[in-house]
């Protein structure tokens, strides 16, 4: 703990050397997850803060501030003196006061080895008009935590849940705190009724009446020495207020039993609030524990929750009017009627598995789980595969992922970054997609994933362990500062690529090329180029034949 605090202090002393605001155009931010993406309340901008990146050996934490200009499709980096320390798994909420404020609470800092954690309990506000950070020091707030949720509602911030982990133990929370934005005071609520079980990573949204809705989340408990059992929560609660947002208001928990089609169980999903009194959930992962390994099914689907109707429904892509997918959906539209009813049709997840065998016997498996109409199962398997592959070939979509960052602006959902796993490798993403939530026609690629930013270093050698120790003692600080210098010169902080070369295949769609590159990188830096090229061509051939 003391080592981590010293490391944080070192980073802060570096930040303290910055004395003026510097805003510069840059290339898209480096890959990361568990940061925050927020829509500016007055401008057509998205604000990205913090996050983490893990390359197999070392964990990097960020406190950089990036601004994405929606109209220009361009990024800028904003360096502001005395920012919050580096962190991930924090929460950020925007308040439309005095030109806009971005409030940040909590989160965690990890040692370079990723084995020690420091959980923050600090509260910060970024004044967007003046581009200044301010730390708000008020007593009586929540304990240090990450994975909590925070929303702004009626001149107050409301915080629920989260967890705290040390080297020896961990604890999950289900407490509720409010921070008054006028008096700058904390209050711990004592709601009546039965509260949700302690959890982190849940969905939290506010209703127009000032109530709070909680869905899902994750927690674990120790069932015996060195054995933990994880729980994917799928229950839903309403925290109702009997007042106008004052400290003395009474609050009460009650359980919700929503109608419609609920999301399949998952953790690591991302949340946002859209138009028409709807909150939404994107992506996530469902881990299946086997004998000695954990295999995760990652998602890239969207589920909407209508707060007025207390109803879940999956977001179904309608496709551009001229496309075949539109005709396929047309049969559902005739049965369900136009509008939202079309998207509310119950359906189950569909798993697409591509298994490719190269000439030398190497097997590569790509698994994707997507939402699909239940009635599709009644059709012949060949028809389903043919049409599904055709649709994937024609339409761009984010790859399945967890821990992405979401924001909604003018009815458009933006999805940035996140991660997924290929075998025992964690691949961190740095792409940006958008979709119009009113039309739900198609995803647009705003920033493509650059495979050169993918890096995975195998952990084993003793000299690598020594490097980790150097990082924990302050070597990381020098590395980070040199990376920052390179950012000033060329924009984005780049991690060296160690993936093997693979052939570019012109007839593949962008989505298919993307999967091929990532699958090839899964073979590791030591794979012989010839073998990698064989696998790449085998995959290319399979994809091409399927789509044709």
pLDDT of residue 457: 85
Cα four-point dihedral sign 318, 319, 324, 327? positive
Q: Where does residue 113 fall: left (phi above 0), alpha (psi -120 to 50 degrees), or beta otherwise?
A: alpha
pLDDT of residue 171: 95
pLDDT of residue 369: 52
Mean pLDDT of 471-481: 35
pLDDT of residue 3: 79
Q: Name the residue with higher pLDDT: 3 or 514.
A: 3
User: Among residues 408, 427, 451, which one ends one of the domains?
Assistant: 451
Statement to judge: residues 404 and 536 lie in one domain: no
Cβ 298 vs Cβ 369: under 8 Å: yes
d(CA 217, CA 27): 34
Closest CA to 29 of 71, 60, 56, 58: 60
Does a structural domain hold residue 6?
A: no
Q: What pairing do the DSSP bridges indicate for beta strands 59-69 and 45-54? A: antiparallel
Q: At residue 229, does pLDDT exceed 60? A: yes
The tally of CA atoms less than 13 A away on the side-chain side of residue 378 is: 4
Closest CA to 456 of 58, 28, 115: 58
Statement to judge: residues 141 and 208 lie in one domain: yes
Mean pLDDT of 207-233: 91
pLDDT of residue 545: 53
Statement to judge: residues 411 and 531 lie in one domain: no
How far, rounded to the nearest angstrom, does the alpha carbon of residue 86 sit from its chain's CA centroid?
Answer: 17
Mean pLDDT of 433-442: 96
Q: Name the residue with higher pLDDT: 519 or 19.
A: 19
User: Where is average pLDDT lowest: 208-217, 243-252, 275-284, 384-393?
Assistant: 384-393
Does a structural domain hold residue 493?
A: no
Closest CA to 44 of 23, 24, 71: 71
Does a structural domain hold residue 478?
A: no
What per-residue string of b and e applies to 401-413 under the rule 16 or more CB within 10 Å gives b?
bbbbbbbbbeebb
Angle at 276 between CA 193 and CA 373, to 5 degrees: 90
User: Where is average pLDDT lowest: 87-91, 267-271, 497-501, 541-545?
Assistant: 497-501
| Sheet strands side by side (includes 212-224) | 203-206, 212-224, 227-242, 250-255
Percent share of the chain, pLDDT over 90? 53
User: Where is average pLDDT lowest: 33-47, 260-274, 383-397?
Assistant: 383-397
Statement to judge: residues 210 and 290 lie in one domain: yes
Mean pLDDT of 5-28: 87
Statement to judge: residues 418 and 537 lie in one domain: no
Does a structural domain hold residue 133?
A: yes
- The structural domain count of the chain equals 2
Q: At residue 265, does pLDDT exceed 50? A: yes
Q: At residue 215, does pLDDT exceed 90? A: yes
d(CA 368, CA 300): 9
User: Where is average pLDDT lowest: 207-221, 252-266, 316-330?
Assistant: 316-330
CA Rg value for the chain: 23
The predicted-structure confidence for 154-165, as pLDDT tens digits, reads as follows 899 999 999 998
Statement to judge: residues 309 and 440 lie in one domain: yes
The predicted-structure confidence for 310-366, as pLDDT tens digits, reads as follows 999 999 998 776 554 444 445 554 545 444 433 444 455 555 555 544 444 445 455
Q: At residue 65, does pLDDT exceed 90? A: yes
Cβ 302 vs Cβ 282: under 8 Å: yes
Mean pLDDT of 239-258: 83
DSSP 394-416: H---PPP-BS-EEEEETTEEEEE
Q: Name the residue with higher pLDDT: 547 or 416.
A: 416
Statement to judge: residues 407 and 510 lie in one domain: no
pLDDT band at 10 (very low <50, low <70, confident <90, very high): confident
The predicted-structure confidence for 132-150, as pLDDT tens digits, reads as follows 999 999 999 999 999 999 9
What per-residue string of b and e applies to 446-481 under the rule 16 or more CB within 10 Å gives b?
bbebbbebbbbbeeeeeeeeebbeebbeeebeebbe
Statement to judge: residues 163 and 225 lie in one domain: yes
Does a structural domain hold residue 214?
A: yes
User: Among residues 451, 485, 516, which one ends one of the domains?
Assistant: 451
What's 290's domain CATH number? 2.120.10.80
Angle at 423 between CA 544 and CA 433, to 5 degrees: 60
Strand (E) positions, 128-263?
Answer: 132-136, 149-152, 156-165, 170-180, 185-188, 203-206, 212-224, 227-242, 250-255, 259-260
User: Among residues 410, 429, 451, which one ends one of the domains?
Assistant: 451
Does a structural domain hold residue 416?
A: yes
Statement to judge: residues 263 and 159 lie in one domain: yes
Cβ 418 vs Cβ 31: under 8 Å: no
d(CA 194, CA 151): 21
pLDDT of residue 238: 98
Q: Name the residue with higher pLDDT: 354 or 400.
A: 400
Compute the mean pLDDT over every residue in the chain, rounded to the nearest whole number.
Answer: 79
pLDDT of residue 319: 77
pTM above the 0.95 mark? no
d(CA 351, CA 300): 12
Residue 150 CA: distances (Å) to CA of 67, 99, 137, 361, 543 = 21, 21, 18, 50, 43
Statement to judge: residues 442 and 510 lie in one domain: no
Cβ 350 vs Cβ 369: under 8 Å: yes
Cβ 428 vs Cβ 287: under 8 Å: no
Does a structural domain hold residue 63?
A: yes
pLDDT band at 453 (very low <50, low <70, confident <90, very high): confident
pLDDT of residue 425: 87
Does a structural domain hold residue 79?
A: yes
Q: What pairing do the DSSP bridges indicate for beta strands 259-260 and 311-315? A: parallel
Q: Per 3-state DSSP, what percentage of the chain is helix, strand, and coil (rounded to 5)?
A: 20, 40, 40
Cα four-point dihedral sign 120, 89, 92, 252? negative
Q: At residue 182, does pLDDT exceed 70? A: yes
Q: At residue 387, does pLDDT exceed 60? A: no
Cβ 201 vs Cβ 261: under 8 Å: no
Question: What's the N-to-C CA distance of the chain in angstroms?
Answer: 58
Q: At residue 511, does pLDDT exceed 50? A: no
Q: At residue 454, does pLDDT exceed 50? A: yes
pLDDT band at 47 (very low <50, low <70, confident <90, very high): very high
Q: Name the residue with higher pLDDT: 254 or 249.
A: 254
Residue 508 sits in which domain range? 504-547
Statement to judge: residues 165 and 264 lie in one domain: yes
pLDDT of residue 536: 56
Statement to judge: residues 414 and 537 lie in one domain: no
pLDDT of residue 197: 98
User: Where is average pLDDT lowest: 26-35, 98-107, 239-248, 388-397?
Assistant: 388-397
């Amino acid at each position: 703990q003391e080592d981590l605090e010293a490391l944080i202090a070192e980073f802060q002393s570096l930040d303290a050397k910055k004395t003026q605001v510097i805003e510069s155009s840059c290339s898209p931010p480096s890959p990361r997850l568990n940061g925050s993406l927020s829509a500016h309340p007055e401008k057509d901008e998205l604000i990205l803060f913090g996050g983490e990146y893990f390359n197999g050996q070392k964990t990097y934490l960020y406190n950089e501030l990036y601004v994405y200009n929606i109209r220009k499709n361009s990024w800028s980096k904003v360096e502001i003196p005395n920012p919050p320390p580096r962190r991930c798994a924090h929460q950020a909420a925007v308040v439309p006061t005095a030109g806009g404020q971005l409030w940040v609470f909590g989160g965690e800092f990890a040692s370079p080895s990723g084995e020690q954690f420091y959980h923050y309990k600090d509260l910060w506000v970024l004044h967007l008009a003046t581009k200044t950070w301010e730390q708000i020091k008020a007593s009586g707030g929540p304990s240090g935590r990450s994975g909590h949720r925070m929303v702004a509602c009626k001149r107050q911030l409301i915080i629920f849940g989260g967890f705290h982990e040390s080297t020896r133990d961990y604890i999950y929370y289900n407490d509720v705190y409010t921070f008054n934005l006028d008096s700058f005071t904390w209050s711990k609520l004592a709601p009546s009724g039965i509260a949700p079980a302690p959890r982190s990573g849940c969905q939290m949204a506010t209703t127009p009446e000032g109530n709070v809705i909680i869905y899902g989340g994750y927690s674990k408990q120790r069932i015996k020495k060195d054995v933990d059992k994880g729980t994917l929560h799928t229950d839903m609660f309403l925290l109702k207020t009997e007042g106008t947002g004052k400290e003395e208001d009474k609050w009460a928990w009650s359980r919700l039993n929503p109608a419609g089609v609920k999301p399949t169980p998952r953790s690591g999903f991302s949340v946002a609030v859209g138009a028409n009194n709807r909150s939404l959930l994107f992506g996530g992962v469902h881990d299946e524990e086997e004998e000695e390994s954990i295999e995760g099914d990652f998602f890239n689907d969207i589920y909407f929750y209508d707060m007025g109707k207390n109803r879940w429904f999956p977001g179904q892509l309608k496709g551009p009017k001229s496309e075949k997918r539109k005709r396929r959906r047309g049969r559902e539209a005739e049965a369900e009627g136009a509008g939202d009813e079309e998207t509310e049709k119950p359906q189950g997840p569909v798993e697409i598995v591509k298994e490719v065998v190269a000439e030398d016997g190497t097997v590569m498996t790509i698994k994707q789980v997507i939402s699909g109409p239940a009635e599709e199962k009644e059709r012949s398997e060949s028809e389903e595969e043919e049409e599904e592959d055709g649709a994937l070939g024609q339409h761009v979509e984010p790859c399945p992922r967890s821990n992405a960052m979401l924001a909604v602006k003018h009815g458009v959902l933006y999805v940035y970054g996140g991660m997924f796993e290929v075998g025992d490798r964690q691949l961190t993403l740095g792409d940006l997609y958008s979709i119009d939530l009113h039309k739900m026609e198609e995803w647009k690629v705003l920033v493509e994933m650059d495979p050169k930013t993918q890096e995975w270093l195998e952990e084993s050698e003793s000299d690598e362990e020594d490097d980790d120790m150097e990082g924990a003692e302050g070597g990381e600080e020098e590395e980070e500062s040199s990376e920052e210098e390179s950012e000033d010169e060329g924009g984005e902080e780049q991690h060296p690529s160690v993936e093997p070369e693979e052939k570019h295949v012109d007839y593949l769609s962008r989505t298919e090329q993307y999967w091929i590159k990532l699958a090839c990188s899964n073979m590791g830096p030591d794979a012989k180029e010839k073998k990698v090229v064989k696998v790449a061509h085998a995959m290319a051939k399979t994809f091409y034949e399927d789509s044709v």
